[in-house]
Amino acid sequence: MIVESLYALMAPFSLLAVVIGTVSGVLVGGMPGLTATMAVALLIPVTFALEPLTGLLLMGGVYCGAMYGGSIPAILLRTPGTPAAVATALEGYPMTQKGQGGLALKVSVIASFVGGTFSALVLLLVAPILAKFALTFGPPEYFLLALVGLAGIVSMADDGSSLIKALISGLIGLILAVVGTDPMSGMLRYTLNIPDLFDGIAFMPALIGLFSISQMLELTGTGSIVADTSVITQIKREPMPKGLGKFIGTGSLVGTIVGILPGEGATIAAFLSYNVARQRSKNKDLFGKGNPEGIAAAEAGNNGCVGGSLIPTLTLGIPGNSVAAALLGGLLVHGLIPGPELFTKHGVMTYAFILSLFLANIVFLMTGLFMAPYFARISLTPTSLLIPVVCLFSVLGSYAMNNSILDISVALICGIAAVFLHKTGFSLGALILGLILGPIAETGFAQALIMGHGSYSIFFNRPQSLSLWFIIFLLLIPPVYQSIKRYRSRPETEVPCTET
Amino acid sequence: MRKVMTLLLALSLALPLSLSSAFAGEYPSKPIKIIVPSKAGGSTDASARLFIKAAKNYWPHAKFVIKNVPGSGGQKGFEEIAKAKKDGHTIGMVFTTQIVAHVVSKRARYTLDSFHVMGNVMQDPLIVAVPTKSPITDMAGFVKAAKAGSLTTAVNGIGSDDFVAAKMLERQTGITLNLLPTKGSTEQKAMILGGHVDACIMNITQLHGQHKAGTARIIAILDANRSDILPDVKTAVEQGFPVNMTATRGFVAPAGVDKKILAKLDALLADVQKDEAFLAECKKDVLCLLPMSGEEYLAYLQDLQAETQVFYDQNPW
């Protein structure tokens, strides 16, 4: 069957579909405001007119490409094209400022490739077994998983801002996440009777404001992103830093596992693997100041999600995230119902689709490596040109998400607020983490209590829960210990920690 | 020179104006906008696109465009239809129970009177499903188990069709379910397949694949008739529990549009409801049909609103 699938995939029309899908995916991912979900949803009507396989290949290509594409503006401009690239921006942008943008892009494309290929391999070989594992995760586990993510706030403390400030930032994020409809009772909370706020503060506009717009505001007054333009000429021949393999591996593994869990997205995967990398790194001090290890882990993480998220989608019909949900819609339109039949009766098509993911990864690897030096020049663009263009896309992107004018205001307010927060040493990464994970933690907590008929023991009497508790402690102990040690050893620096 | 330019400018401005006014007498004089209060790619969106495809056969000169207005459980879109210009060039889709639930919970800035109801097209009956490992195989067993100990039952959010169906079931049988609100069908599927809940109430098109694949068990359809999608599953009525609940998807226009235009639109919908190609496409896409005329659908919506009001008064959200 695999041979037949390969044959179907090697048809010129199929190959073309993969290439076009992947390249346009990279572009979509690269624009702030346009996301992979949107691109796949827009493609569904197009696929009506195509052969089912061609349509699937196109969507798969877009998915793979967009996951990688998001990292390009994240690294060069600190304006993540997709939410999943926020962690990449934390490390990539400082590298660009140092004139290492080309290198950062190279690290990101290679990590993305490895992560994507690894997860596609997992999808090809052990999908059904892992799908069963995904199902063992219920509300208590999702609550704990959100806590694992929130533990990342603590480790964001060691870059300049103090632990307290990172915690405050995270708390602001959590408070903002409270706005909207109560997931359990359906009551409205702090919505000011504006229907646009009933679904909560839209995440993408907030992200665009916090990163893109604030970044453009901060850039006003400088000539270009790279202060010293003489260093940028050397980047082409700069070798890959050694020892990244470990972090790419971690990222791929974490990304694939998080991807498999229904409902958990690439954003969380990227943040989790970034956080794990931070704990395991020997160069902890470099994090937040441009550490390629962070990029490697985050990018391998969000691309690892691609294959992972397709596992429950194809085997059980439960989409692993919103992109996979749109893809599932595309499958159903052609009468392909997820389940064992997909791998037997329609096996040729399914395996051709899985194999095409490998191809898509190769396509964006080539595109990325070839284009990196040219992309890197973006950071040399004069800010007088860059700022209006990026702002235009930011406003357009915030509006396009939900066709909502209010979202533009959300983006602008977040942008201005972010400038002040950033200048005073509060961590924007922690804030975003709170905003993303708040609703997941809240829903998981409340649902688990309903499931357990009001008893808290449900968080402790399941094996998955216990292992998650263990991970939380592993992640929390070292940063807290370090923070205390630092506090004791240098008491004189502890008072004026406002500016670097 | 300047005079010539001014003249040209004036002409160029006036020309499209005169053209459009020349055709103002004929309807439709410009593209008809269909507001879809959900995301592109969903089943409501698919219904609207199939409608357009069929409608073009009857109105060959008309153009249709879809505007997706997702958010707040459809409320944003419903409000946009109600507020639209009353020239017949904007119509829209509504779905239950959300359209009436927003009115009942006093959040909506519209009422049913804000619309001219054109008619219903699709439906998606609700089902009761249990995990495959569950000992429950039919409704009698479900009610018995629910009386013995509170069954945790996953529904979509409060005020949704799943929620109203669960409340109807509770009232009909005298049981009390431990209702677990979720963010949608994806979460419900994961919970039922993973055995984290005892049962779930959701739409048939969301779970029929899993039932066929043997990863979940549908024990009853809450509809008057069995479904073509799963002919072997008995209705709740057949099993002695007369609870009917379905999600409907129909078309409305803003109230106050010229009566002649409304008559034309109603006739178009009636034609599409009977169109052979349209019926065949719906079947292929696993969309269940429930054709209702404007009057029938309005009566249905009013009844549903009254019923939802009762549940809201007992336990507001």
Q: Which residues make Cβ contacts (< 8 Å) with residue A110, sequence separation at least 6?
A: A240, A248, A296, A365
Residue type, A246: K
Kindly tell me if the per-residue pLDDT of B9 is higher than 70. no
Question: A195 and B285: CB-CB below 8 Å?
Answer: no
> CA nearest A331 in B: which residue?
B285
Per-domain residue ranges of chain A: 2-488
Kindly tell me if the per-residue pLDDT of B19 is higher than 70. no
Span A213-249, pLDDT tens digits: 998 998 888 877 776 666 555 555 567 788 899 999 9
Where on the phi/psi map is residue A333: left (φ > 0), alpha (ψ -120 to 50), or beta? Answer: alpha
Kindly tell me if the per-residue pLDDT of B156 is higher than 60. yes
Mean pLDDT, rounded, for A204-212: 89
Span A435-472, pLDDT tens digits: 988 998 999 999 999 999 999 999 999 999 999 999 89
Where on the phi/psi map is residue A453: left (φ > 0), alpha (ψ -120 to 50), or beta? Answer: left
The average confidence (pLDDT) of chain A is 86
Lowest mean pLDDT among A260-274, A405-419, B269-283: A260-274
CA nearest to A56, candidates A64, A118, A131, B46: A64
Nearest Cα of chain B lies from the Cα of A481 at a distance, in angstroms, of 37
> CA nearest B42 in A: which residue?
A329
CB B254 within 8 A of CB B82: yes
CB B129 within 8 A of CB B200: yes
Instruction: State the Cα–Cα distance between residues A399 and A33, nearest whole angstrom.
Output: 8
Residue B151 carries which DSSP code? P
Report residue B99 as tokens: 């359209």
Kindly tell me if the per-residue pLDDT of B41 is higher than 90. no
Beta bridge partner(s), residue B115 = B254
Taking one residue from A and the other from B, the number of pairs with CB-CB distance under 8 angstroms is 119
pLDDT above 70 coverage of chain A, percent: 93
Could you tell me the domains of chain B? Answer: 27-123+247-314 (3.40.190.150), 125-221 (3.40.190.10)
Span B108-137, pLDDT tens digits: 999 999 999 999 999 999 999 999 999 999
Residue A227 confidence (pLDDT): 65
Mean pLDDT, rounded, for A320-332: 78
Residue type, B283: K
The three-class DSSP label of residue A451 is helix
Kindly tell me if the per-residue pLDDT of B100 is higher than 90. yes
Chain A residues closer than 8 Å to B194 by CB: 135-138
Instruction: State the Cα–Cα distance between residues A308 and A118, nearest whole angstrom.
Output: 10
Residue type, A354: I
HEC per residue, A402-421 = HCCHHHHHHHHHHHHHHHHH
Residue B1 confidence (pLDDT): 55
Mean pLDDT, rounded, for B47-75: 89
- Taking the whole predicted model, whether its pTM rises above 0.90 is answered as no
Of A45, A339, A453, the CB nearest to B49: A45
Question: B196 and A319: CB-CB below 8 Å?
Answer: no
Span B254-282, pLDDT tens digits: 999 999 999 999 999 999 999 999 998 88
Instruction: State the Cα–Cα distance between residues A41 and A306, nearest whole angstrom.
Output: 16
Span A54-98, pLDDT tens digits: 888 999 999 999 989 989 999 998 888 777 888 899 899 989 888
CB burial readout A419-450, b (16+ within 10 A) else e: bebbeebbbbbbbbbbbbbbbbbbbbbbbbbb
Phi, psi for A328 (deg, rounded to 5): -60, -40
Kindly tell me if the per-residue pLDDT of B301 is higher than 90. yes
- CA A148-A153-A155 angle, 5° bins: 95
Give the helix ranges, DSSP H, for A221-339: 245-260, 266-280, 292-316, 322-333
Mean pLDDT, rounded, for B21-36: 77
CB A387 within 8 A of CB A124: no
> CA nearest B106 in A: which residue?
A193
Residue B226 confidence (pLDDT): 92
For residues A493 and B241, which has the higher predicted lDDT (pLDDT)? B241
E strand intervals along A87-184: 180-181
For residues B140 and A227, which has the higher predicted lDDT (pLDDT)? B140
CA nearest to B124, candidates B92, B96, B143: B96
Question: A196 and B71: CB-CB below 8 Å?
Answer: yes
Kindly tell me if the per-residue pLDDT of A141 is higher than 70. yes
For residues A425 and A122, which has the higher predicted lDDT (pLDDT)? A122
Nearest Cα of chain B lies from the Cα of A468 at a distance, in angstroms, of 18
